[in-house]
Structure 1
């Protein structure tokens, strides 16, 4: 009898351990305005918003990882219990993820190096004649491809993309102004060395937190409720206004 009880206890402990491990959440992101490494720590407004959301939802078993965007995106597409940000909510992605909430909206601008070749753009169509840098699997790459752009130079991350602009390997770089300012700061160049030549006002970015599709509805619902409370309190907007 004693051995049977011991066996049952061991099986119960193993089941609890497995369940806990299975429900652990991996938060994935890229090096960007929303998340970046500082002194060995992952920081940034998106990171703080994700942490606060999960803690309020009592989903405290989580870990965060910084990846090239294509890798983060693939994990969120194919693995369970993955929370990804900053994910642009587009019609093509609508059914691919379980959406938690919008953390920010921004407008993408096309930048060139000031003092370089003269570039004047009055419509998105006119931008097709230039070499434009994009990040692999980023919403901007997808959008421009859908619009018929063929001269796209693909990078693994924002920093590599920005460096190509500085090195004149590309002519234009699409990014929101706050991202351009952060990339300039990280590259130790003055933001005024960039010149905005066009604004994609017709295509604002709606940046979200989202779970992988195979994540349980219960986990998603907890996170959605927690995020709604966080946003209603004004905390999401306050965090996003803070200087990096």
Structure 2
């Protein structure tokens, strides 16, 4: 039922198709799914459902400009939870999900457009915490909060750590502030942005343990020509400085 809703939504809200795209995939807009992941993608009203113009963020604006320049039709829908929209993209031939880290274990699952921006992996602690770390292994004795089905949480689990999982990453900000966890495994700048959204600041980075790049991940059935056109459009925008201007717009305000 949810899939049918998204497909009908896409048909009703798609951008105008260019003749080039129509020749590759007649009448089929791409259904782009996302979640609340500030400052890259978020609902303007802060809710867990939004469509098209009710979305904002770095990735939202970058992709709008990318699809516009490539002349490719699409719709955007923000849903919750992440695991659901990720799996929908794996299962449906005209779907994409953003933003997601392009890591080796996901490489063969999708076709990729990006990078859209960085998302370093960090461990945050309260400002008054005495914790000092030089390696991820040293964090094993602490209570680490992470986000369900997020690549950071999965990476920690693969390395033998046992993070405390929540359904919404901003809940980790509250738990860290309240002393219910010792460390928060999250992205930078996403984690600090999320914390500020719930009125919390003053966390410090005690370990930066990975550097990741965020992408639009497309179902493998999306035609190669479409992927190439989108990548070329994004590369153009970056060369013209437009991607940097969009990032500055969000990061300088917050």
TM-score interval, normalised by the smaller of the two chains = 0.7 to 0.9
Query: Would you say the 8 A contact 1:69–1:135 is kept in 2?
Result: no
TM-score for both structures, normalised by structure 1: 0.82
- What corresponds to 2:185 in structure 1? 174
Query: Would you say the 8 A contact 2:146–2:172 is kept in 1?
Result: yes
Distance across 2 between alignment mates of 1:222 and 1:234: 19
Match of 1:83 among 68, 85, 96: 96
Query: Would you say the 8 A contact 1:31–1:68 is kept in 2?
Result: no
Distance across 2 between alignment mates of 1:68 and 1:196: 27
Secondary structure of 2:76's counterpart equals: strand
Match of 1:225 among 227, 232, 249: 232
Q: Which moved more, 1:96-105 or 1:138-147?
A: 138-147
CA-to-aligned-CA distance 1:5-45 (integer Å, 9 cap, x gap)? xxxxxxxxxxx9x952xx22111112112011224721111
TM-score for both structures, normalised by structure 2: 0.79
Query: Would you say the 8 A contact 1:30–1:157 is kept in 2?
Result: no
Distance across 1 between alignment mates of 2:142 and 2:73: 47
Gaps of 5+ in 2: 1-21
Match of 1:196 among 187, 202, 205: 205
Query: Would you say the 8 A contact 1:69–1:137 is kept in 2?
Result: yes
Structure 1 residue 49: Cα displacement = 0.8
- What corresponds to 2:87 in structure 1? 74
Distance across 1 between alignment mates of 2:134 and 2:248: 31
- What corresponds to 2:44 in structure 1? 38
Structure 1 residue 69: Cα displacement = 1.7
Larger Rg: 1
Pair 1:28 & 2:39 matched:
no
- What corresponds to 1:107 in structure 2? 120
Distance across 2 between alignment mates of 1:184 and 1:63: 25
Match of 1:133 among 125, 145, 148: 145
- What corresponds to 1:3 in structure 2? none
Match of 2:60 among 36, 47, 54: 47
Q: Which has the higher contact order (CA 8 A, sep 6+)?
A: 1
Paired positions, count: 220
Segments of 4+ in structure 1 off by > 3 A? none
Query: Would you say the 8 A contact 2:33–2:78 is kept in 1?
Result: yes
Distance across 2 between alignment mates of 1:170 and 1:74: 29
Secondary structure of 1:242's counterpart equals: helix
Gaps of 5+ in 1: 1-15
Secondary structure of 2:233's counterpart equals: helix
Secondary structure of 1:54's counterpart equals: helix
Gap change, CA 1:175 and 1:61, over 3 Å in 2: closer
Query: Would you say the 8 A contact 1:98–1:210 is kept in 2?
Result: yes
Query: Would you say the 8 A contact 1:28–1:67 is kept in 2?
Result: no
